Amino acid sequence: MRCLGGALSLTTNTSFVVDHLVLLFRCTSHAQQAERTGCAQAIGFCASTHTDLVLTELENIAKWENLKKSSGLFGFIKDAMPYKQYTDQEMVSLRATIMLSYGYVVYYCPTDVVTQRLEQTVLVFLRRYMENPRECNGTFHLGIEDILHVDRCLQIITF
């Protein structure tokens, strides 16, 4: 998966990048730590050149949680959408992958972009989900701590 992220970072066709980012998230088994980390690293590699595009897609992927199956008259329209329907446990794992992806985006994106993107997008997302955590994943917390370590932030922000 990391190779796919590296290849996407070299691609200039934005629709190709968007399609493959969505495909990457749909094909990943988010319950397995190795695949979750590989997907997040691929997203981070891609963000090294397509930062705004990746952040927009991560926001769109986070909205998958709100797509519930409806049995109404127009429920078939949602069923026709290209998004997979996730169970509650799969949604928790997907959310953990998204959070880890945000961490790798911050780690790999250009340093001149990090501070404004951190305030505008990443911290807003993380704050929303860390207020009501459904599952505490220790390996996730360790991954984010490594990515957003003080030494890394001091390299980015010079006083």
In whole angstroms, how far apart are CA 36 and each of 8, 57, 63, 132, 136?
18, 17, 18, 21, 15
Amino acid letter for position 107: Y
Which residues in the chain land under pLDDT 70? Answer: 65-87, 129-159
Q: Rounded to an integer, what distance in angstroms lies between the CA atom of residue 95 and that of residue 115?
A: 23
Residue 136 confidence (pLDDT): 46
Q: Pick left, alpha or beta for residue 143 (phi over 0 → left; psi -120 to 50 → alpha; otherwise beta).
A: alpha
- Cα distance between residue 85 and residue 68, in whole Å: 7
The single residue listed with the structure tokens 């409806």 is 70
pLDDT at 76: 52
- pLDDT at site 147: 57
Helix 14-27 vs helix 2-10: crossing angle, to nearest 10: 170
pLDDT tens per residue across span 84-103: 565 677 788 888 888 889 88
Spatial neighbors of 22 by CB under 8 A, at least 6 apart, are 57, 61, 82
Q: What is the pLDDT of residue 131?
A: 67
User: Can you give the pLDDT at residue 159?
Assistant: 42
Instruction: Give the containing element (helix H, strand E) for 121.
Output: none
The verdict on pTM exceeding 0.75 is no
Q: Residue 47: which residues within 8 A CB-CB, separation 6 or more?
A: 9, 54, 55, 104, 105, 108, 109
